[in-house]
C-alpha cells in the first residue's frame, strides 16, 4: 500500500512540473499576442494602398499584358510557399497548414503540374525531410517575429524562379499556404495564388471612390516596379498573420494543457487520499488486532 501511495505522489509532482511549464508558455504567448496583432494592423494600410495603386495602373492600362499577370500557355510546374512555425506547443497549427498544402499539391498534380515546395519554418522543413521530399527553398528562425527583410528574401527567390522557364527549373505559378488569424480562438489555413495575378473584370460601379494617379514615365513601367512590391507585401502580410495565428494557437494549446494537468492533479490527489486512508485503516486494524492478541495472551496466562 505504501508503494502505491509513493507512486501516486511521484505522478502528482511530475504533473505539477508539467503544469508549471505549460502555464509559463501560456503567459508568454499571452504577452506576445497583442504585439503580433498590432504588427498585422500596422502593415495593413501599406498593403491596402499598394493594392489600390496596382488596381489603378491596371484600370488605366486597358488590355494589360505583363509577365506577372499573363498565365503560361502550358503550365507544368507550380511553386507552393508553405508557412509553418519554428517551435512546437501550438496544437494543430502546423498539421492544418501541411494538410492544406497536401490537398493543394494533389489538386495541382491532378492538373498535370509538378509541385515545387518552398518551406518557411523548422516544423515544415523537418516534415519534408523526414519524408525525403526535396525543397527548392527553406527559411527558418523568424516564424513568430518576421521582419520585412525575411519577406524580401523569400520574394526574391520566388520571383527568380517565376522568371525562369519551366524547362530550366523555373515555375509557371506561385501559390501561398498560410494561416489566417481570425480571433484568439479561431485560426484557419488559407490558400492563395500569388502569381500570375488574377485580373477580374467587374461590372457596375466600383464600391468606393477610385484614386486618380498620374504615371511617369508610363503605366507599364510603373507596373513593372509595383508588382514585385505587391507580391512582397502579400508575403510579408502572410508572415505577420501566420505569426499572430501561431502565437494564438500556442496560447490556446498551452491553456488547454494546463487545464488538463490541473484536472489530472485533482484526480491523482483523490487517489492519493484514498490510498492514504486505506493505509491508515490498515494500520489501525493491525494495531487493534495486535492489542486484542496481546490482551488474549495476557488473560490466558492468568
Which residues belong to the active site?
A: 90
Query: Max Cα separation, the chain?
Result: 126
Collapsing DSSP to helix, strand or coil, 193 comes out as: strand
* Cα distance between residue 51 and residue 230, in whole Å: 7
Cα separations in angstroms, 298 against 131, 288, 294, 301: 80, 15, 6, 5
Identify whether the C-beta of residue 28 lies closer than 8 Å to the C-beta of residue 248. Answer: no
**Which H or E run contains 272?**
helix 219-301
Cα separations in angstroms, 126 against 75, 79, 142, 204: 29, 19, 16, 49
Closest CA to 69 of 235, 216, 200: 200
Alpha helices in 71-136 (DSSP H): 93-110, 122-130
* Cα distance between residue 22 and residue 298, in whole Å: 61
Identify whether the C-beta of residue 139 lies closer than 8 Å to the C-beta of residue 157. Answer: no
Amino acid at each position: 500500500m505504501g508503494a502505491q501511495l509513493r507512486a501516486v505522489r511521484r505522478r502528482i509532482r511530475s504533473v505539477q512540473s508539467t503544469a508549471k511549464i505549460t502555464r509559463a508558455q501560456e503567459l508568454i504567448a499571452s504577452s506576445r499576442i497583442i504585439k503580433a496583432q498590432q504588427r498585422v494592423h500596422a502593415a495593413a494600410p501599406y498593403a491596402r494602398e499598394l493594392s489600390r495603386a496596382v488596381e489603378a495602373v491596371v484600370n488605366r492600362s486597358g488590355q494589360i499584358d505583363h509577365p506577372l499577370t499573363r498565365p503560361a500557355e502550358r503550365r507544368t510546374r507550380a511553386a507552393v510557399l508553405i508557412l509553418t512555425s519554428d517551435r512546437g506547443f501550438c496544437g494543430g497549427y502546423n498539421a492544418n497548414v501541411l494538410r492544406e498544402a497536401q490537398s493543394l499539391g494533389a489538386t495541382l498534380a491532378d492538373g498535370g503540374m509538378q509541385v515545387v515546395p518552398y518551406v518557411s519554418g523548422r516544423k515544415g522543413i523537418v516534415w519534408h525531410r523526414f519524408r525525403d521530399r526535396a525543397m527548392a527553398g527553406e527559411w527558418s528562425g523568424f516564424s513568430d517575429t518576421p521582419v520585412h527583410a525575411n519577406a524580401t528574401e523569400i520574394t526574391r527567390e520566388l520571383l527568380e524562379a517565376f522568371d525562369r522557364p519551366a524547362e530550366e527549373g523555373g515555375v509557371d505559378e506561385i501559390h501561398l499556404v498560410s494561416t489566417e488569424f481570425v480571433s484568439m480562438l479561431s485560426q484557419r489555413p488559407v490558400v492563395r495564388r500569388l502569381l500570375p495575378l488574377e485580373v477580374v473584370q467587374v461590372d457596375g460601379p466600383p464600391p468606393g471612390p477610385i484614386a486618380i494617379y498620374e504615371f511617369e514615365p508610363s503605366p507599364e513601367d510603373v507596373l513593372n516596379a509595383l508588382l514585385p512590391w505587391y507580391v512582397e507585401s502579400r508575403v510579408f502580410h502572410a508572415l505577420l498573420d501566420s505569426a499572430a495565428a501561431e502565437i494564438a494557437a500556442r496560447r490556446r494549446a498551452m491553456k488547454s494543457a494546463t487545464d488538463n494537468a490541473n484536472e489530472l492533479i485533482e484526480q491523482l490527489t483523490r487517489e492519493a487520499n484514498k490510498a492514504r486512508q486505506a493505509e491508515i485503516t490498515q494500520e489501525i486494524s493491525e494495531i487493534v488486532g495486535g492489542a486484542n492478541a496481546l490482551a488474549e495472551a495476557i488473560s490466558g496466562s492468568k
